């Protein structure tokens, strides 16, 4: 179902945001709305999408499950007209790879990897034709750590984005936004309990603002906060055998 909210800002372009109903995606949607973009909001929960559209105005709502290939095709069609593409939708699996089902793992990859690739592939021709485009892929510092399927998927997103940045015309900017722990619904939805001091946690609004700003500036790897930039740099240059030992579950050591 598509719903158009009332116009509130002068339109400067069209931006498609996946997973905008909470957390970083929601904050990115607000940032782009304030810039004057018409928004195409994509998520599974139509009620929450409509609530967000009422808040933002100048929106189209597209309820779709990105792990469903037929529903994804509808989103791909919408992506052909955008100036901004924000691939933010994602989630985690609480079980280890030994405990999860292959269906769970496939759905995770469909959302975190396949949807990112297909939506980007759909959006790029129009961006190239217009001579301008912005692609903001929400990745994670976890992509530099050997910590299961989620980390592997985010590693793909980061490397994919770097390839886009190197292989697209000058008017198109591709950015991988790689935050650390951020206060969102992510861990609650995944039923994950993460203990840690307050300094570990980032504010979703600040992360979104930096991601949008860095994408406009052409920054390829956007890592919010000095502490996570330092952590990401350490992870990238630490010998992999040391990282594997550090992240190995206690029962297998």
Q: How far apart are CA 115 and CA 22, in angstroms?
A: 19
Token pair for 15:
């931006």
Q: How far apart are CA 45 and CA 54, in angstroms?
A: 15
Name the active-site residue from 91, 150, 228, 237: 150
Residues 22, 30, 88, 11, CA torsion sign: positive
Catalytic (active site) residue 237: no
Q: Which of 22, 13, 15 is nearest to 44 (CA)?
A: 22
61: left (phi over 0), alpha (psi -120 to 50) or beta: beta
Rounded to 5 degrees, φ, ψ at 143 are -65, -15
Q: How far apart are CA 174 and CA 158, in angstroms?
A: 10
Rounded to 5 degrees, φ, ψ at 202 are -100, 155
Rg (CA), the chain: 18
Token pair for 160:
């994919």
Residue 26 has, within 13 A of its CA and on its CB side, a CA count of: 17
Token pair for 167:
């292989």
- Count the Cβ atoms, other than its own, within 10 Å of residue 145: 21
Q: How far apart are CA 97 and CA 239, in angstroms?
A: 23
Q: Which residue numbers are catalytic? A: 150
């Amino acid at each position: 179902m598509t719903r158009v909210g009332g116009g509130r800002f002068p339109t400067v372009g069209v931006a498609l945001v996946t997973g905008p109903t909470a957390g970083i995606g929601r904050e990115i949607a607000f940032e782009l709305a304030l810039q004057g973009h018409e928004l195409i909001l994509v998520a599974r929960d139509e009620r929450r999408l409509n609530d967000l559209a009422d808040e933002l105005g100048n929106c189209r709502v597209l309820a779709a499950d990105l792990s469903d290939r037929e529903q994804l095709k509808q989103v791909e069609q919408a992506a052909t007209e955008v100036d901004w593409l924000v691939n933010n939708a994602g989630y985690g699996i609480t079980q280890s790879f030994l405990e999860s089902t292959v269906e769970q793992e496939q759905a995770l990859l469909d959302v975190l990897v396949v949807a990112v690739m297909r939506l980007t592939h759909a959006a790029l021709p129009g961006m190239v034709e217009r001579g301008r485009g912005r692609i903001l892929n929400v990745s994670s510092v976890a992509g530099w750590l050997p910590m299961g399927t989620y980390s592997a998927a985010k590693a793909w997103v980061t490397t994919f984005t770097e390839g886009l940045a190197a292989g697209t015309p000058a008017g198109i900017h591709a950015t991988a936004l790689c935050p650390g722990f951020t206060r969102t619904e992510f861990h609650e939805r995944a039923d994950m309990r993460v203990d840690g001091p307050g300094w570990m946690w980032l504010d979703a609004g600040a992360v979104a603002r930096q991601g949008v700003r860095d994408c406009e500036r052409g920054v390829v790897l956007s890592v919010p906060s000095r502490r996570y930039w330092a952590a990401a740099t350490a992870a990238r240059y630490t010998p992999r055998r040391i990282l594997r030992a550090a992240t190995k579950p206690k029962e297998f050591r």
